[in-house]
Amino acid sequence: MSKATEKNFVILIGPPGAGKGTQAKLLVENFGVPQVATGDLFRYNLKNETDLGKLAKEYMDRGELVPDEVTIAMVKDRLSQADCQGGAILDGFPRNPIQAEALGHLLTEIGGQIRIVPLIVVDEEELIKRLLKRAEIEGRADDNEETIRNRMAVYHQQTKPLIDFYRDKELLVEINGDRSIETVSADLIAAIEQA
């Protein structure tokens, strides 16, 4: 994925249940760069009680959203580590145009660039079926159709500006996620290699 002189970053976008995590792992295997998922970063920082983890916990304990600056600081710390020298697959970050702008500045600082932003597109009713099945398999009683539809609404509301942001920069590529894992993966790899 990366040319010797560049750090290339891929930002995976897609609604809950689109298969971003699965596809990110396959891209990691194919391109040999790490997956940087904000959920993992939060868990790591909270578990290890880092300064950023303690700060995030203060907001979470009050039932507040963790501010963009804290999330951005966690991502900055992660991207400065040795295994990200050739780039990374970003999963779950950025979530909004403010984070996207911050990521752009951060990548400029470390000599990196966004190579492509694949948007995994899946029919909403198919997503709801997938998430209900996953909830059943994983025993997530709180994941019912109402909460899933609410998550979809929040995703669309929050992510549309991000999609527009990267579309305007001509980095966005839509990938049909309504097909087999292998087919979606092949399309993603081809899109990244051609970018």
Q: What is the pLDDT of residues 118-132, one digit of tens each?
A: 999 999 999 999 999
Residue 5, pLDDT score: 45
Does the annotation count 151 as an active-site position? yes
Residue 4, pLDDT score: 41
**Beta-sheet strands, E only, within the chain:** 7-12, 35-37, 87-91, 112-121, 172-176
Single out the catalytic residue among 57, 95, 130, 149: 95
Does the annotation count 140 as an active-site position? yes
Instruction: Find the length of the chain.
Output: 195
Single out the catalytic residue among 7, 20, 78, 115: 20
Q: pLDDT of 47-58, one tens digit each?
A: 999 999 999 999
Q: For residue 176, list its beta bridge partners.
A: 121
Does the annotation count 149 as an active-site position? no
Residue 2, pLDDT score: 46
**Where is 79: in which H helix or E strand?**
helix 68-79
Does the annotation count 57 as an active-site position? no
Single out the catalytic residue among 140, 160, 169, 179: 140
Single out the catalytic residue among 57, 76, 149, 151: 151
State the average pLDDT for the chain.
91
Residue 99, pLDDT score: 94
> Looking at residue 96, what DSSP letter applies?
S
Residue 135, pLDDT score: 87
**pLDDT digit of tens for each residue in the chain (195 aa)?**
544 446 899 999 999 899 999 999 999 999 999 999 988 999 999 999 999 999 999 999 998 888 999 999 999 999 999 999 999 999 989 989 999 999 999 999 989 999 999 999 999 999 999 999 988 888 877 778 888 898 899 888 888 999 999 999 999 999 999 999 999 999 999 999 999
Does the annotation count 133 as an active-site position? no
Q: Where are the domains of the chain?
A: 7-44+81-181
**Where is 108: in which H helix or E strand?**
helix 97-109
Token pair, residue 123, equals 């029919």
Residue 158, pLDDT score: 85
pTM value is 0.89
Instruction: State the fold for domain 7-44+81-181.
Output: Rossmann fold (3.40.50)
